[in-house]
Amino acid sequence: MVPKLSGVASKVNDAELEQLLFDLLRIPSVNPKFKTGDEPAETQIVEFLDKKMMDYGFEVERQVVESGGWNLIARIRGDGPKTLVFNGHIDTVTGANMPDAFNPKIKHGKLYGRGASDMKGGIAAMIEAAKAVKTSGVKLNGDLVLSLVVDEEYGGTGTQKFLEKEKPDYAIIGEPTQNEIGLAQAGYIEFTLESEGTIQHGSTLKIGDNSSAYINATKILNGILELPTVRKVRHYLDVEMPNTVNFCPVDQRIFTSQAWMTVDYYKVNVLIGVAPGRTVAESDRIIEDTLEEMEVLVDNTNKAGQRNKLNYETGVPPYKKHGFIQPKNDFAKKFEQAVDQTQGGHRYAYVLSFCDGTFFYDKGIPTLTYGPGTMELGHSSNEYVDLNEVKEAARTYAQAIENILGTEVL
C-alpha cells in the first residue's frame, strides 16, 4: 500500500518529471571513449541542464574536467553547516547496439532509450526532487548539491574532480537499484589473459596438447570460475553479496582453415566484480587474495608446458578498486525512514557494478546508492526504466532531503 504523501514529497510533479526524462534521453551524451560515428559527447546535455536548472532557480556552475567536458554543479543554500550531495553521471555508453537509442518510447509504462536505467532516470528524479524542495519553501538546515558528472562510464574523473573542490557530509548516488537501499557496492579487478600456442594441423591436436592458445586460455578461464575467492558469497544484513565474472575476447589469430588449424595467440579481457569487506583494509585484502589465486593458477598451467600471462595494463587506470559497505548510521537511518514514508517499507540492495560511490566513501563521506532501474539493463540493447520507479524515486529523494536537511542537523 502506497502511503499518503505530505510535505516536500507531495510537491513532486509527475508530468514535469516525465517530460524532463524524455528530454534527457533525446540528447545523446555518449562518453568520448565509447563514441561511434557522429554521436555527440556530453556537451549538449550540460548546456541543456545548465539552462533548465537556472530556470528552476538553482545556483549553477560548470566545472572543467581535464579528461574532457564539464561537471554541472547545482546548489540550494541552507542555513546550517551540513551538505547533502546527490551524485549522478550524465554520460552513457554508445547507442550503436540499441535500435532507436536516442528516440525514447513508452511501452507498458516502461520508457526505453540509452541511459534510461544508467542513469538518466535517476538524474531526472534528483532534479525534480530538488525542484520540489525549492518551490515548497521548506527551510534547509544545510546545503543541497546536485553533482552531475561526466566520465563515470570510463575513468570516474568527473566525480574525482568534484571531490577535489568539495567534501559534503553525506552522499546519495542515483545509480539503479530498483529503489532499494544500496548499502554495499562491489569493487573490481580488470586484466587481460594472453595465451600463446603454436600452429599445427587441427586434426592432429591430441587432448592435453598445448598447441592451441584458445584451448589453453579456456582452461584458465574455467579455472577462474572455480577459484574459492571468486565463488565465495559474502553477506551483510539480509543481502547476499556474490562476486561477478565476465570474459570478452579482444584479440586472436584465426585463419581461413578454421578448426583445421590451431590458434597460436588468444587474448581475453577479464572483469571480476569483487564483493567488499566491512573496511577498506578488508576489501583490499579480498582483492589481493583473489589476484594471488589467479597468479598461482596461471603459474601452474605454465609449469605444465603452456605459455600464459596476466596483463594488468587494461587502459582504464586503476586495474583494481575496492568496493564498500556503508554501516547503518544516523544518515542511513534517516534515508531508510524516507523510503518507508514514500514506499511503505524498504529493502536493502548490493550494487553489483563499481560506481562513483567508492570515491565518496574513500573520503570518509557516508554514502548510499539508490535509484530507479536495474544495473543489468544498463549498457544493454533493450535498456528501459519503469516510469513508476522514477516517480517513486523522486518522491523518496524529496522526502530524504526534508528528513536530513529540512528539520534538523544530524
pLDDT tens per residue, range 346-361? 999 999 999 999 999 9
In this prediction, residues 210-234 reach a mean pLDDT of 96
pLDDT digits (tens, 9 = 90+) for 195-208: 999 999 999 999 98
| Catalytic-labelled residue, pool 39, 128, 152, 175 | 152
User: What b/e string do you get for 32-57 counting C-beta neighbours within 10 Å, with b at 16 or more?
Assistant: bbbbeeebebbeebbebbbebbeebe
pLDDT, one tens digit per residue, over 74-94 is: 999 999 899 999 999 999 999
Residue with C-alpha cell 516536500? Answer: 8
Q: What distances in angstroms separate CA 379 from CA 86, 307, 392, one per listed residue?
A: 22, 34, 23
Whether 91 sits among the annotated catalytic residues: the reply is yes
Residue 97: HSE in the Cβ half-sphere, 13 Å Cα cutoff: 13
What's residue 302's pLDDT?
96
Report the 10 Å Cβ neighbour count for 221.
15
Pairing of the two strands 348-351 and 181-185: parallel
Q: Are 132 and 11 in contact (CB under 8 A)?
A: yes
pTM of the model: 0.93
Q: Is 3.30.70.360 the CATH number for 187-321? A: yes
The residue that leads in pLDDT, 219 or 408, is 219
Catalytic residue selected from 39, 50, 91, 175: 91
H/E element, 134: helix 121-136
**pLDDT of 39 strictly over 60:** no
Which of 47 and 39 is assigned the larger pLDDT?
47
- Whether the ω angle into residue 119 lies within 30 degrees of 0, i.e. cis, is yes
Going by pLDDT thresholds of 50, 70 and 90, the confidence category of residue 409 is very low
> Which pLDDT does position 408 carry in this prediction?
41
If DSSP codes are grouped into helix, strand and coil, which group holds residue 58?
Answer: coil
Q: Collapsing DSSP states into helix, strand and coil, what is residue 220?
A: helix
Q: What is the mean pLDDT of residues 273-296?
A: 97
With a pLDDT cut of 90, the percent of the chain lying above it is 85
Do residues 28 and 43 lie in contact, with contact meaning Cβ atoms separated by under 8 Å? no
Span(s) in the chain for CATH 3.30.70.360: 187-321
In this prediction, residue 246 carries a pLDDT of: 97
Mean of all residue pLDDT scores within the chain? 93
Q: Please confirm, yes or no, whether 38 is among the known catalytic residues.
A: no
Summarize the confidence of residues 290-313 as an average pLDDT.
Answer: 96
CATH 3.40.630.10 in the chain, residues?
7-185+323-406
List C-alpha distances in Å: 120 to 53, 135, 199, 305, 323: 15, 22, 49, 50, 23
The Cα diameter of the chain in Å comes to 79
pLDDT at 40 over 80: no
Instruction: Name the fold adopted by 7-185+323-406.
Output: Aminopeptidase (3.40.630)
pLDDT band per the 50, 70, 90 thresholds, residue 36 = low
Give the pLDDT of residue 38: 59
Please write the tens of the pLDDT for every residue from 108-143: 999 999 999 999 999 999 999 999 999 888 889 999
Q: What is the pLDDT of residues 365-406, one digit of tens each?
A: 999 999 999 999 999 999 999 999 999 999 999 999 999 998
